[in-house]
Structure 1
């Protein structure tokens, strides 16, 4: 039995490396904390793939580019990585950025396994080049809407900033809630300050306020304003996009940030592989890994398997999406063509609605599964 090593043997290290381009938000205005978790998962996946023999004896190399939540920067990075000869692209957290990257990858004929972005229409047309691990937004946000209905919320205020991603989320919620007796009250987070948002929630008789806004601002200011408004003591604050998952949320808001339900893509219990990877990610990050870190690890697991079995030819990699059958940290991964989704899709990663426990904000409570 081979003992894993920290670095590839000398003979393998001298062979040409198989390069994977990694798109990750590592600086502002990107969500750098999510990017750090995503990169930790990608790096751990590469290390373990190399410990298992690499790609036909060739070591993997991750070529990382910081997208900083900028679609144009991401598209330029795709062009650069293609020129560098990467076998495939991986990563990205922000949906609008991933959409720009996917468009360039499709145009260049470069395989792209998107880790975390959720927009249904990741490309304008169906493409053979792009696959995705994260659930499509329509799947996750309908699950969130079902949670709202089950919790008795029928009048829901939505404070949103302008973005294709936020607009898509609000539309999914509205379309799912309306036939079931729910009403969505739209609030423009650009023009309303936190006090005005609180007034609008009261005037609209909403029992829930969803934050479709950036973090830390204006999300932190909105949460604090609602928590301090006695008129809104019974109003639930929600953040379906997942801001409360990360330690920065808890550090900014303390107990005010508890009891804010959000979407998380993890099973209720991790299996043996997931538990082992969780331990390794915890050591690498110095904190509990988010679902985004698991997405990063699973991305490399899939790509390594495809590259081992199909070779490093780009068309061969893209042609392998419908034949993938890989055990991931959160369950068996296979790709298919999901209705309304333009890319090869894992349908679906485990989906939960969770929040931070008010009695112990470092602990998460599972409120609903989809």
Structure 2
């Protein structure tokens, strides 16, 4: 199919039950990068164009979108936030031989077999969650409870935590969280659940239970990153450490992009918005070089540092190893402010 533009297909959760705020941030970053690429002359004189498809956190919907975008002649695929959805998209892209740069999903096993045309910007779950486990150990937490939804992603996270922390207690999600946690002797509860529910209800229940006054809550998947968390929970949502993938201080490019994203978004840009921008920057460079899948030949100055791809043991896709990782929480005194607690 011949077109007057170079097309990139973008997958993102833009409606519930997908985490639509994450999807909007991802798309805002991608659209900003496209505007800058086109202002600089596009790709070989052709404008870059995004064809956006909403996955709504549904793997089957993502697979159908990949098939449709392939028929429409996209040069590459980009995006997605939810790991299980990204995994489905990556498998379909691999089967079709279509380059796919995953922006934000972290599940280690993004593909079942080595996939030459698939790459990822986000750190693998085993890397980021090990850093989170180190933070917990440093804070004196050796007996951890998890409230976990049934999912490949949450199960993988639980295994990583158990490997590095030792004792991890999986709470019975059919019982009231206060009763299950009060008898566990755990000093921390990790929320390995969806947002807004059941995460919001669990936080409120813990905050209001006097038996749990000394419990630390954590959310390694990053639920408190977005403004909706503060809007829904206020002070109750503060002091809950989570992972985000930003450096402690942005360089000149990151600072410029942050300022531009603030004009596009109704709240401060999350790390996901920077992932969206970096995704398009990488793909644009790959396409200028004549192909979207020569990942080891791509080197780009991203918003969060220099981006290059390599093979990482145990991971079947080309990986940026590694983006910066922080453990952050919302300040209990000012929940709108984020505090960096640990870097890795």
Q: TM-score, normalised by structure 2?
A: 0.98
Q: Does 1:160 align with 2:148?
A: yes
1:361 match: 335
Residues 32-86 of structure 1: CA deviation (Å, up to 9, x unaligned): 0000000000100100100111001100000000000000000000000000000
What per-residue deviation string (whole Å, max 9, x for no partner) do you get for residues 180-231 of structure 1?
xxx1000132x12xxx211221211110000001111110110001001111
The aligned residue for residue 38 of structure 1 is 26
Gaps of 5+ in 2: none
Select 1:49's aligned residue among 37, 42, 46: 37
Q: Quick check: 1:223 aligned with 2:198?
A: no
C-alpha RMSD over aligned residues: 0.8
* 1:89-115 residue CA offsets vs partner (Å, 9 max, x unmatched): 000000000000000000000000000
Deviation at 1:286, TM superposition (A): 2.4
Other-structure match for 2:215: 235
Query: Pairwise mapping of residues 133-148 of structure 1 onto structure 2 (< 5 A)?
Result: 133-148=121-136
Residues 1:177 and 2:161 are matched in the alignment: no
Q: Is the radius of gyration larger for structure 1 or structure 2?
A: 1
Offset of 1:176 from its aligned partner? Answer: 1.2
In 2, distance between residues paired with 1:309 and 1:343? 20
- Tell me the equivalent position of 2:180: 200
Q: Which moved more, 1:333-342 or 1:198-207?
A: 198-207
Aligned residue for 1:346?
320
Asked if the contact 1:18/1:61 (under 8 Å) is kept, the reply is: yes
Q: Secondary structure at the match of 2:169?
A: strand
> Map of 1:49-198 to 2, 5 A cutoff?
49-178=37-166, 183-189=167-173, 191-192=174-175, 196-198=176-178
Following superposition, the deviation at residue 135 of structure 1 comes to 0.1
Q: Is the 8 A contact 1:161 1:188 kept in 2?
A: no
Q: Secondary structure at the match of 1:360?
A: coil
Which residue number in structure 2 is paired with residue 290 of structure 1? Answer: 270
- Measured against aligned partners, the alpha-carbon deviations of 1:320-360 in whole angstroms (never above 9, x if no partner) come to 20111100000000000011111000000000000000001
- Quote the Cα distance in structure 2 between the aligned partners of 1:275 and 1:82: 35
User: Per-residue deviation at 1:122?
Assistant: 0.2
2:26–2:275 contact (8 Å) kept in structure 1: yes
Can you give the 5+ residue segments of structure 1 that lack an aligned partner in the other structure? 1-14, 311-315
Which of 182, 185, 190 is the aligned partner of 1:210?
190
**1:305 alignment partner, one of 279, 285, 310:** 285
Matches of 1:155 and 1:266 in 2, distance apart? 28
In the TM superposition, structure 1's runs of 4+ consecutive aligned residues that sit over 3 Å from their partners are none
Q: Does the 8 A contact of 1:212 with 1:241 survive in 2?
A: yes
Shift of 1:177: 1.2
Structure 2 SS opposite 1:110: coil
Which of the residues 19, 28, 51 maps onto 2:7?
19
Conserved 8 A contact 2:147-2:192? yes
Q: 2 CA distance for matches of 1:161 and 1:202?
A: 20
Whole-angstrom CA distance in 1 between matches of 2:172 and 2:221: 17
Aligned length: 342
Distance 1:22 1:258 in 2: 33
* Aligned residue among 315, 324, 345 for 2:298: 324
Superposed CA deviations along residues 117-162 of structure 1, whole A, max 9, x for unmatched, are 0010100001101000000000011111000000000110000010
Matched, 1:251 2:236: no
CA distance in 2, matches of 1:324, 1:32: 30
Tell me, in whole angstroms, the C-alpha distance in 2 between the residues paired with 1:32 and 1:265: 19
Q: Which residue of 2 aligns with 1:11?
A: none
